[in-house]
Structure 1
Amino acid sequence: MFTLPRLAELAKSLLANTSTRSVRWQAGGAPVDAGWAVPLNHKVESVNEAISNLAESGSWVLLYSVQRDPEYRALLDQLMTEILADTGCSRDEVTWEDAYIFLASPDAVTPYHIDHEATFLFQIHGNRTANIWDANDRSILPDNEIEKYYAGDLNAAKYTIEKQSKAAVYALNQGTGVHHPSKAPHAFKNGDIYSIALGIHFCVRDCDREAAIYQMNYLLRRCGMKPTTPGKSAWRDKLKTSIIGLFADKNPKTKHDMLRSGFTRLIAPLRLVLK
Structure 2
Amino acid sequence: MTAHRPIAATHEATFPDSARTTFAAAYPDQPVALSHNLVGHSLLSLDALAMLAERMPASSVEYNLGKLPLGVRPEDTPSNGLTLGETIRTIETNGSWAVLKNVERDPAYAALLDAALADLEPIVAARTGPMLHREAFIFLTSPGSVTPFHMDPEHNILLQIMGSKVMTIFPARDEALVPAQKSEEFHGGGHRNLVWQDGFKALGAPYPLHPGDAVHVPVKAPHFVENGPAVSVSLSVTWRSERSVAEGELHSFNALLRRRKLPVGTVSDRPEKQSVRRLVYRVMRKLGA
Deviation per residue, 1:163-202 (Å, 9 max, x gap): 1100011111111011111010011010110100000011
Query: Is the contact between residue 155 and residue 238 of structure 2 (CA under 8 Å) also seen in structure 1?
Result: yes
TM-score (normalizing by structure 2): 0.78
Which one of 170, 174, 195 corresponds to residue 137 of structure 1?
A: 174
Q: Are 1:124 and 1:198, in contact at CA under 8 Å, matched by a contact in 2?
A: yes
Query: Post-superposition shift, 1:88?
Result: 5.0
Q: 2:94 aligned with 1:23, yes or no? A: no
2:84, 2:126 → 1: CA distance?
Answer: 36
Q: In the alignment, what sits opposite 2:211?
A: 174
1:197 equivalent among 221, 231, 234: 234
RCO comparison, higher one (Cα < 8 Å, 6+): 2
| 1:56-83 deviation line (CA, Å, top 9, x unaligned) | 1111111011112221111111011112
Given the alignment, which residue of 70, 73, 79 partners 1:40?
A: 79
Structure-2 change in CA distance of 1:59 and 1:223 (3 Å): same
Specify the alignment match of 1:56 in structure 2.
Answer: 93
Structure 1 runs not aligned, ≥5 long:
249-261, 268-275
Change in 2 beyond 3 A, CA 1:219/1:76: same
- In structure 2, the residue matched to 1:85 is 122
Which residue number in structure 2 is paired with residue 258 of structure 1?
none
CA contact (8 A) 1:36 1:111 kept: no
SS in 2 for 1:144: helix
Instruction: State yes or no: 1:227 paired with 2:264.
Output: yes
Aligned pairs for 1:156-167 (under 5 A) are 157-167=194-204
CA RMSD in angstroms, aligned pairs only:
2.5
In the other structure, the counterpart of 2:247 is 210
Query: Which amino acid is the alignment partner of residue 29 of structure 1?
Result: K
2:108 matched to 1:71? yes
| 8 Å CA contact retained: 1:135, 1:182 | yes
**Compared with structure 1, are the counterparts of its residues 35 and 184 closer, same or farther at alpha carbon in structure 2 (3 Å cutoff)?**
farther
- Separation in structure 1 between the aligned mates of residue 51 and residue 113 of structure 2, nearest angstrom: 19
Q: Supply the AA of the counterpart residue of 1:54.
A: I
Q: Deviations over 1:95-151 (max 9, x none)?
A: 211011000100111111111111000000000010100013222222222112112
- Percent identical across equivalent pairs? 29
Paired residue for 2:191?
154
Q: Under a length normalisation based on structure 1, what TM-score does the superposition of the two structures give?
A: 0.82
**Structure 1 contact 84–91 (Cα < 8 Å) conserved:** no
- The count of corresponding residues between Structure 1 and Structure 2 is 246
Tell me which residue corresponds to 2:156. 119
Matches within 5 A, 1:95-114: 95-114=132-151
1:273 alignment partner in structure 2: none
Paired amino acid for 1:40: S
- In the aligned structure 1, how far is the partner of 2:118 from the partner of 2:269? 34
In 2: Cα distance, 1:127 partner to 1:233 partner: 35
Q: Distance between the aligned counterparts of 1:107 and 1:157, measured in 2?
A: 21
- The separation in 2 between residues aligned to 1:27 and 1:53, in whole angstroms, is 13
| 1: CA distance, partners of 2:269 / 2:44 | 46
